[in-house]
Amino acid sequence: MKAQVILVNEHDEETGLMEKMEAHEKGLLHRAFSVFVLNDKGEMLLQQRALDKYHSGGLWTNACCSHPLPGETVEAATHRRLAEEMGFDCPLRELFQFTYRTEFDNGLIEHEYDHVWVGFYNGEIHPDPIEVHAFHYLPIDEILRQLTATPEQFTSWFRLAFPKVIDQLRE
C-alpha cells in the first residue's frame, strides 16, 4: 500500500486521507512535522537530503521531517521518523505550527500544516543513507551566515522555520 498523508484544513482539522504523491501533485494541505535538534554546545544538527529524494534532493535542512501516518499522533511520528532517518531518538517538545506552500521545478507542490518540534542530543548518529546524504552540527551564527549567503542550498521549510525556532529558543 502506498504511503498516505492526512489532509487537513487551515485549523489542522483532519478532512481525509490521500496517497502522498497525489497530495503533492495536487498541492493539497496536509499534516507534517519538522524536528530540530541541538547539542549541548548550542549547535544545530543539519542533514543534507539524499540526492534522489522526490523533491529538494541534496538540500540542507533540519534533523528530520515527514508526515504522521493515519491514526498516528504527531508526537509519535516525530520519534518514529527521527529514529528511522537519523538513527537516534531524544526527548522532543513542540514549539509552534505554521503553514507553507512551495512549488518545485518537477511539478510537485509542498503544501503543509507543519508542526515544529525541538530536542537536544549529544550521542551517536547513524543516518539512513536512503534518506540522508550527509549531516553535521553547525553553530547557529554559521547557519544564519549560510542562509544569507546561499539560501538556495536549504529547503524551503527550513528557511521559513529556522528563524522562528531560534527566536523561541532565545526566549
The pLDDT tens digits of the residues spanning 37-66 come to 999 999 999 999 988 877 777 999 999 999
Mean pLDDT, the chain, integer:
95
Place of cell 512549488: 103
Read off the DSSP letter of residue 153. Answer: G
pLDDT band at 144 (very low <50, low <70, confident <90, very high): very high
Quickly name the fold that domain 4-165 has.
Nucleoside Triphosphate Pyrophosphohydrolase (3.90.79)
Q: How many CB atoms within 10 Å of residue 81? A: 21
Nearest to 61 by CA among 146, 142, 138, 155: 155
d(CA 143, CA 165): 13
Q: Which residues are catalytic?
A: 65, 112
Nearest to 69 by CA among 60, 78, 59: 78
Beta strands in 20-131 (DSSP E): 30-38, 43-49, 60-61, 64-66, 92-103, 109-120
Beta strands in the chain (DSSP E): 4-8, 14-19, 30-38, 43-49, 60-61, 64-66, 92-103, 109-120, 132-139
The helix (H) or strand (E) run that includes residue 68 is: none
pTM here is 0.94
pLDDT of residue 1: 63
Instruction: For residue 155, count CB atoms less than 10 angstroms from its CB and return exposed for 0-12, middle for 13-18, buried for 19 or more.
Output: buried
